[in-house]
A = this chain, B = another copy of it.
Amino acid sequence: MFKRVLVANRGEIAVRIIRACREMGIESVAVFSDVDRKALHVRKADYAYHIGPATASESYLNVDKILDVARRSQAEAIHPGYGFLSENARFARACADAGVKFIGPSPESMEMMGSKTRARQNMKRAGVPFVPGSEHGLDIDAAERLAEQIGYPVMLKAAAGGGGKGMRMVASPADLHSAYENARSEAQRSFGDNEVYLEKFIVNPRHVEMQIFGDQHGNVVYLGERECSVQRRHQKVMEESPSPIVDEDMRRRMGEIAVRVAKAANYYNAGTIEFLVDEQRNFYFLEMNTRLQVEHPVTEFVTGLDLVHLQMHVASGEKLPFKQEDIKLRGHAIECRIYAEDPDNNYFPSPGQITRLISPSGPGIRRDSGMYEGWTVPIEYDPLLAKLVGYGEDREQAINRLLRALYEYFVGGIKTNTSLFRRILKDPDFRAGNLDTGFLDRLLAKPSNETDVRRPIMAAVGAAIFATMEAKATLPGVTGALPMNGNSASPPPISNWRRTARAEALRQR
């Protein structure tokens, strides 16, 4: 096993990997940009190196700087987390050249899966089901012919794409020309590659993905699916395992196909095969993510495994310690992605200082977090602060535990989307498992109608009592005024200007 591992990431995933290192007796090396000196992953690591300014391209995305730290810190391996360099085959190759183990698949597997059309060609040969459509980039004439053949609605997609960019739904032949041009130019702008392909548009699809794991000895297993249909603007917000519509038979079929995909790519380490599922529960290969997913904790809960530990073992050359038949799923897990964004104001990002943080714990609750009280959330990086994961004997208990944990969760100073999860978890369609990728947009279009007559009144009373306490705190010399049992735990905070004023008053005496 490695003695020292560099974690080329930040935020909650860096913390999660550093924790795994400590659990395995591996020393962890963190890297940080100018604005991350005080980040939690730096606090938790055994080593930490500064790698440059806030801009990711000059720090977390900079291959040379990362490899330089690997050399200086004598790290034997690099865990890329997700995002940043995690799916960058050039980086994986540079690691190999520098004699540092990249904790993930081979550069060849990553390259094969990196281009959607190439992946598609390989997968078709492996007998993987696809949404009917083209296998490669099309010119406009070919696109027109194919659309006629498979029938509208159809979808145009960027070959190099991801995250919803360069995608256009086309409802009828009249719209095809302009949509094609738009998709091409967006693809060019976003990915520097204007190749566009076309496929059948699936109505009310679900997004279900299958976790696979391979070792370097040709063994690949599947670890159950995740339902990821709850999305806002094509971004996942909540994920769960198992999926409410996947039964044992469907899981086995989907899992076996996922393993076939991985084997066709000579894949090892953690990977995820994304599928689109239609209303008849047919599923179609979408893409493969060649890294650890944000939502891996739900799989860890239902399998009882630790995927990051497993990544380390497999990367160091060990065989998978189990076979497919040893994997037993139990219970149900759901993850909420806690973002720094304001649900009451169009989900605008909300960076800033976290002035108060009260975190839930207790049975069935796991919290992977990159924040702490007093920390300032920087404006430069993505707004994922923490993941709150609930486990239960069944889906209902998992939902109810999450509602309980969200009731306890309090992030003060900045806005977070915790109220969104409360809405989702109480929604009858969600509770019935009636999900598709349009679910959340439909829910958010409805007015929120939570009303409570009592609590607004208590909010007013509370505010008045706080104000009274405050008034006292500003009046020096007022004593014994508050009717509080015992001594107050912490006196009301004194604002900075007030402290300065006092300091000046003292100085002038």
Contacts and interface: CB of A to CB of B under 8 A. Distances in A.
Interface of A: 15-16, 19-20, 22-25, 34-35, 37-38, 44, 297, 300, 304-306, 308-309, 328, 330-331, 353, 359, 361-369, 374-376, 391-393, 397, 400-401, 403-404, 407-408, 476-477, 485-487, 489-491, 494, 499, 502-509
Contact of A505 (B308, B361, B505): B505
Contacts of A328: 328, 330
Contact of A363 (B37, B306, B494): B306
Contacts of A506: 476, 502, 505
A359 B359 CA distance: 9
Main secondary structure of the interface of A (DSSP, over half): mixed
A122 to B, nearest CB: 33
Given A304-B331, A376-B489, 6 more contacts: A19-B404, A38-B485, A374-B489, A374-B490, A376-B486, A491-B499
B477 A503 contact: yes
A106 B376 CA distance: 55
A38 B408 CA distance: 16
Contacts of A366: 361-365
A22 B22 CA distance: 35
A408 B364 CA distance: 20
Contact of A361 (B306, B359, B376, B476): B359
Contacts of A308: 363
Given A393-B305, A404-B22, A489 B361 contact: no
A23 B401 contact: yes
Contact of A368 (B362, B404, B487): B362
Contact of A502 (B19, B401, B502): B502
The 7 closest A-B pairs by CB, nearest first: A374-B489, A476-B503, A361-B367, A23-B400, A502-B502, A22-B404, A37-B485
Nearest to A22: B404
Nearest to A309: B397
Contacts of A331: 304
A306 B308 CA distance: 27
Nearest to A300: B363
Contacts of A368: 361-363
A16 B306 contact: no
Contacts of A369: 361
A361 B362 contact: no
21 contacts: A19-B363, A19-B404, A22-B404, A35-B486, A38-B489, A300-B363, A304-B393, A305-B393, A306-B393, A309-B397, A328-B328, A359-B361, A361-B368, A361-B369, A362-B366, A362-B367, A363-B366, A476-B503, A477-B503, A505-B505, A505-B509
Contacts of A391: 304
A400 B363 contact: no
A44 B358 CA distance: 12
A407 B486 contact: no
A407 B304 CA distance: 23
Given A23-B400, A363-B368, A486 B38 contact: yes
B507 A476 contact: yes
Contacts of A330: 304, 328, 330
Contact of A23 (B37, B304, B404): B404
Nearest to A310: B393
A363 B37 CA distance: 25
Contacts of A507: 476-477
Nearest to A20: B363
Nearest to A321: B393
Contacts of A397: 23, 306, 309
A393 B310 CA distance: 11
A19 B35 CA distance: 38
